[in-house]
A and B are shown apart, each in its own frame.
Chain A
Amino acid sequence: MNSVIMDNIARSYGDVRALDGISVQINGGELFGFIGPDGAGKTTLFRILTSLLLPDSGSATVDGLDVVDDYRKLRRAIGYMPGRFSLYQDLTVEENLQFFASVFGTTVDANYELIRSVFQYLEPFRHRRAGQLSGGMKQKLALSCALIHRPSVLFLDEPTTGVDAVSRKEFWEMLEELKAEGITIVVSTPYMDEASLCDRVALIQDGRLLTVDTPTRIEKSFPKPILSVRSARKYELIKALRAYPFSSSVYAFGESAHYTDSRSSVDAVELQSYLRDQGFTDVTVAQVDPGIEDVFMALMT
């Protein structure tokens, strides 16, 4: 069953087209990720899906509720965690949680089971003001508050941005547990490495969808072998690779550079000797499996 259906959603801010015809269907109980760089339109899309912003054209339903016409019912059915910490910094952890429970007409006790795994981390800080929590704790509190009314669909806008690596890992584990509870989770992130943690992802860039599929299939869709090239002089290395006559694409990838060839098969040894001739004595070349980021780079251009 489809839980979230977007049909050709468009939205502009003045002359800037933030979203340009987005159509995606998200299945019930799925952990779905929107992956894209800053400014891709992720937050705008989330604000439309949570009834905070009206689309210029197109329509969307969440759990069968129209985001424009049924916004009142919709707000009871969804949980939303904005990218920016939006709880009351001058209220304590407990007061925040109680407040959001009460405005949804429920109590913390009634749904404690659902948030237990998240809230256990916060237990020691129950009486601390939200403003005095660390980034990771704030994020867990925000998630607890978004969950306290047992929503059927959870929207998390860049929940792991600005959070340390350990907290990020913990956070994704918590999402797995929530998925097991049957909650549909829609998450956005600029981190490509988080894509593999989702059931399906949509790559989004400049308000348009590049592709929607499972992370494995997206990686498999990459048509060419990739060579990972390393040298201490990365900048010169990339220039030399671009100058190579058979070069198709070259881009920096963390410590190394990723290279694809314009021919159907690629010879790592040949490339390595070319680079040695160019004076890169420390160069290493190895074939690697394509990742989401490689697909993203290929689709972007």
Chain B
Amino acid sequence: MRTLPFILQKEFLQIFRNRSLLPIIFVLPIVQLVILSNAATFEVKNVRMSVVDEDQTEASRGLVRKMQATGYFSVVANSPTADQGADLLLSTAASMVIHFPLHFERDLRRSGTARVQMIFDAQDGAKAGVSQAYASSVVVDYSRELGANIVLDGIPAGIDVIPVNWFNAEQRYTTFMVPGILVLLVTIVGMFISAMNIVREKEIGTIEQLNVTPITKSQFVIGKLMPLWVIGLFELAFGLIVAKLLFDVPMVGSIPLVFAMAAVYLVAMLGFGLWLSTMTDTQQQAMFLAWFFMVIFILMSGLFTPIESMPHWAQNIAELNPLAHFIRIMRRVLLMGADFSAIRTEFYWLVGFAMTILPMAVRQYRKVSH
């Protein structure tokens, strides 16, 4: 094992001489954290509203004003008829129509109950859902102010829900996203860079020279993976610091626990990268293959859409996604302050992945070609 230090020395030398790799390692975390965690948001702002007000009273105008005051809704048109309001929806000039029937104010005053209709453009189901929720809450507030009951067509009213959000009280989107994006960073180092780093030796032919040396398979594999394992953990530390300084993401849980989990997760992803490299001959092929898996892993990771709302079969597939487990671990530990017992299942999954994929990849990597 005297040889291993020399191999490691050579690997680090090469990594730090690689002009395209260093920016990836240092710039990527900042760019991803800044752009993704700010841009990828479910918050819906500036809902363009078309108002069809057949009532034209203080009560109807009051509700419209209140909606505008939230900052989420803006009135793009006042349409005299319901049909014209609908036309605006069709032409995508508006994404919702609010329709006050005649006698809205009179009904409110007489019986304390009045109806109002809202129509949403639901091409983007998530956006429509969020707009609807905002609108309902404005209506509920407004009813309470008037001491009356405004019934939104199709939406049951009458029960007051007082939401209390734990672990992310202000429902800040960045707080939710950042732990997941840190997982992406670690994954890129683990999977992409390891696959490309190993394939590079094949592509430029140096593997040929290396193979006639007494370097053993395990020395080669450890020599290749260990530097990236260290860099992956460094990347996580760097990302956590950026997250803390730039976004003030709460870190309630134990940071050593996060790193312990990342250490296991990285072994699994490095193994995956090695496995990809055994199946490819050029960096380009490795890149494409890594992308293929990366897209599936990300979309089924719960980073953007909750796994719980996936169909049952997809949830089962997501169980086999190491990213999903590690994102869950990161969110629970960082935001909830979970201890080991709360993430035990996820931890076992990660250990399982690492113990399956790494030996499989090592077995498939051969020094002799057939």
Contact = CB atoms under 8 A, between A and B. Distances in A.
Contact of B208 (A76, A86, A99, A104): A86
Contacts of A54: 368-370
A16 interface: no
A207 B369 CA distance: 19
Interface string A94-130: 0100011011110000000000000000000000000
Interface of B: 2-3, 6-7, 10, 13-14, 17-18, 204-215, 367-370
B1 to A, nearest CB: 11
B212 A52 contact: yes
Given A80-B212, A90-B18, A105 B3 contact: yes
B266 to A, nearest CB: 25
B215 A103 contact: yes
A51 B368 contact: yes
B207 to A, nearest CB: 8
A45 to B, nearest CB: 15
Contact of B369 (A53, A80, A85, A100): A53
B196 to A, nearest CB: 14
Given A53-B369, A54-B370, A72-B214, A80 B14 contact: no
A50 interface: yes
Contacts of A105: 2-3, 214
A86 B369 CA distance: 17
B7 A103 contact: yes
Interface residues of A, number: 28
Given A54-B370, A86-B205, A104 B10 contact: no
A95 B10 CA distance: 8
Contacts of A156: none
28 contacts: A50-B212, A51-B212, A51-B368, A52-B211, A52-B212, A52-B368, A52-B369, A53-B369, A75-B212, A75-B213, A76-B214, A82-B205, A82-B209, A84-B205, A86-B206, A86-B207, A86-B208, A88-B10, A88-B206, A89-B204, A90-B14, A99-B6, A100-B213, A102-B3, A103-B210, A105-B2, A105-B214, A145-B209
Sorted nearest first, the 6 A-B pairs with minimum C-beta distance are A102-B6, A86-B209, A86-B205, A80-B212, A103-B213, A86-B208
A110 B215 CA distance: 20
B205 A75 contact: no
A104 B213 contact: yes
A296 B18 CA distance: 48
Nearest to A80: B212
A91 B290 CA distance: 27
Contact of B206 (A78, A87, A95): A87
Interface of A: 50-54, 71-72, 75-76, 78, 80, 82, 84-91, 95, 99-100, 102-105, 145
A75 B211 CA distance: 8
A53 B368 contact: yes
Nearest to A98: B6
Contact of B13 (A76, A80, A95): A95
B209 A90 contact: no
B10 A91 contact: yes
Contacts of B213: 75, 100, 103-104
Contacts of B214: 72, 75-76, 103-105
B209 A80 contact: yes
Contacts of B204: 86, 89
Contacts of B2: 105
Contacts of B17: 90-91
Contacts of B10: 88, 91, 95, 99
A142 to B, nearest CB: 8
B318 to A, nearest CB: 40
A169 B205 CA distance: 26
Contacts of B370: 54
A51 B366 CA distance: 12
